[in-house]
Amino acid sequence: MTAAEAPADLREYRSAYQEPADFDAFWRETLDAADAHPLDLVLTPVATGLRTIEVFDAAFRGFGGHLVKGWLRVPRHRDGPLPAVVQFHGYASGRGHPLDDLLWPSAGYAHLLMDTRGQGGAYAGGGGTPDPVGAGPAYPGFMTRGIAGKETYYYRRVYTDAVRAVRAVRDAGLADPARVGVTGASQGGGIALAVAGLVPGLRALHVQAPLMCDIRHAVRTSNDGPYQEISGYLAAHRTSVADVFTTLAYFDGIAFARRATAPAWFSTGLLDQVCPPSTAFGAFHAYTGPKEIRAWEFNGHDAGGSLDLETALAAFHPALTAVP
């Protein structure tokens, strides 16, 4: 089901989100502060037994100069710099095992999978990146950490790490800096969308069931998953509603979609109770670059799963392999 075939209410839906007047200034100052720290990229080969793919333990400096980990995987047999894909993982997951996530390097790309700081205790074999920044009272999970202000909110650090991850893959010497795309599902999709709005010169974007889009609407309509952390927090902090959504306005995918220009492929499951399909369509309609969306009629938060990844592979090939 394409955008044209989606229900009329989704084709016509537009988010009511209003971005803060100082949105661009906030992110410019945030990224400038990060750039004051050296990237300090270190790639350490990992013995895996794979014959066609090399794996490197990647480490670089993200927000605040904090150490961020990831896996950089590249085809073992290559001739010159490769097109690259930077991937961000789902909520509470981690970078996992070196043998995981072999799709993109198997397709011929340099592939950096970034660890999301503080996560990895629940899925995908764990993560290796701490979050050394403290925060005030929070509901269990990550969605409300530091939510009292935009300067302290958790995803300020995560989005900054992700921008630095793109710089890391561009500086690694294994990839063509002019041929980089970003991808992710759920939380990873929300991070990828933010990166697309913050990093110039990206060549492609693929997001499945993106989190952190049309957030206030999502908190009201989601029946499962991370958004319930925000509603749970507000149930206890009843006088903080305005302040919480003021903070979240600086991290909403709608604002980043308005600033992104890379060709983009979105997907959503019409039965998704975690990231309601209207939130994906809200980001899609706000997106300023060339775009397509696939709405999977009987799928939930998997948003088409591996079948949708076939779309990404087919789309990324011409977008990333063409020489600028």
Q: How far is CA 166 from CA 66, 86, 115, 156, 174, in A?
A: 16, 7, 13, 16, 13
| 248 Cβ contact list (under 8 Å, min separation 6) | 147, 153, 215, 216, 230
**In the block, residue with structure tokens 């269990």:** 140
**In the block, residue with structure tokens 């959503």:** 268
Distance, CA of 150 to CA of 121 (rounded, Å) = 25
Specify whether the CB–CB gap between 68 and 94 falls below 8 A. no
Nearest residue to 151 via CA among 131, 133, 139, 129 = 133
111 tagged catalytic? no
Nearest residue to 289 via CA among 199, 211, 173, 226 = 199
Active-site annotation holder among 214, 272, 302, 308 = 272
Active-site annotation holder among 89, 93, 101, 186 = 186
Distance, CA of 250 to CA of 96 (rounded, Å) = 29
186 tagged catalytic? yes
Helix, strand or coil for residue 265? strand
Distance, CA of 308 to CA of 317 (rounded, Å) = 15
272 tagged catalytic? yes
Q: How far is CA 305 from CA 188, 224, 302, 310, 320, in A?
A: 14, 19, 5, 9, 22
- The catalytic residue positions are 186, 272, 301
